[in-house]
Amino acid sequence: MVVSDLVIIGGGASGFMGAITAINKGLGSVVVLEGTSKVLEKVRISGGGRCNLTNSCWDISNLVNNYPRGEKQLIGLFNRFSTVEAFDWFQKKGLSLKIEKDGRVFPRSDSSEDVIKCLTAVAKKSGVKIFTNSHVKKITKKKNGFNLLVKGNNYFEAKNILICTGSHPSGRRLAISLGHSIVQPVPSLFSLSTSEKSLTSCSGITLNVHAELTVNKKKYAETGSILITHKGFSGPVVLRLSAFSARNLYSNKYKGELRINWLCMSESEVRKKLDLYKLENGKKVVINNKPFHNLPRSLWRALFLTLNIDSKLKWADLSKSQIYSIVKCLIMKSYLINSRGPYGEEFVTAGGVSLDEINFKTMESKICEGLFFAGEVLNIDGITGGFNFQHCWTSAWVAGNGILIK
């Protein structure tokens, strides 16, 4: 039987940060149990193999707005270890980082392998013991700690346990066995599908839009980049909408209405632009000549073809009602959403261990003494852009410190 001060269940981002923090703060012995054959697999595949490990959103009041669930709890956590501290932590550990134009932070090498090398090297140098293929089957609470039954009938004994299993159901099952309640996990960060065929020719186009998603009479609005796919819509603005409406969409069987302002302009601005273009380009055919430079030609044609207007009509021959219908199509075009696409690259879920049962000063359970949680096993999730990894680093750092001040 292996005996230690702390057993961490899950060898992912939060597991490694918790282990390194705890042992470097003075905890005697720390063990990480990973159920699969490799540690840090999510780090490896995230960001297309580049690993978007945090974001340069330094202001905490703005940072918490990127979390559909857990915003209130994260304010306190980020005041202790935020994006600034995470950036510095990795730099000091020898991992060179870069900030991209959209604020996302990556290793300068653009390789997630360097993040993995950094974390594993620091953990091993610090004395953390790592066991792979060590799925935890059962935890038994005893007077001064815990007994753990691991795959292969191996036994571990620990004074404290930190569960960092991410969205994997095994961690939730262990939490339930120790008295915790779970907020049902549902998908987050996914694309939206529509049966509308008018944009098929526009697949692959990206542009900035203002989008409103209505689900069960509740509206969600975002401005940003959208990607037209062969089945519907994706891109940052859609992923953000899906995250904030995740539970509502789930309960409504992923049915909703997406209204898009393709120009991010007001009705009066668009109308004025169309009137001026008509005046100056009267002899040109409408479908072949667009007044808006930022609007791709194929999208202009696709939108125009949804209107009941002769495709041979010239600008000079447009009536006021036809001008108005073009305006509506450009800034209030609606698409019925009938399903979701697959999970986004972050594989994020909304749901997990109930936040009411956690002491966020230490990340310790309010129900079971000596039991701690960090990362996505909790009912906290962020949008794409490095925010989910940041929550993992932060909550695990707080947990690593919290175990020491018991």
The residue-averaged pLDDT of 382-398 equals 97
114 pLDDT above the threshold of 90: yes
pLDDT digits (tens, 9 = 90+) for 267-303: 999 999 999 999 999 999 999 999 999 999 999 999 9
How much is the pLDDT for 213? 98
Beta bridge partners of 225: 208
Query: In order of start, what are the domains of the chain with their CATH numbers?
Result: 2-186+349-402 (3.50.50.60), 190-343 (no CATH)
Of 20, 32, 9, 8, residue with least CA distance to 125 = 20
The residue-averaged pLDDT of 359-388 equals 97
The residue-averaged pLDDT of 352-373 equals 98
Distance CA 285, CA 289 (A): 6
Of 245, 40, 7, 322, residue with least CA distance to 139 = 7
383 pLDDT above the threshold of 50: yes
Structure pTM?
Answer: 0.93
Mean pLDDT score of the chain, rounded to an integer? 96
Non-local (6+) Cβ contacts of 390 within 8 A are 54, 55, 63, 82, 83, 86, 382
How much is the pLDDT for 343? 56
Enclosing H/E stretch for 251: helix 246-251
Beta bridge partners of 364: 359, 372
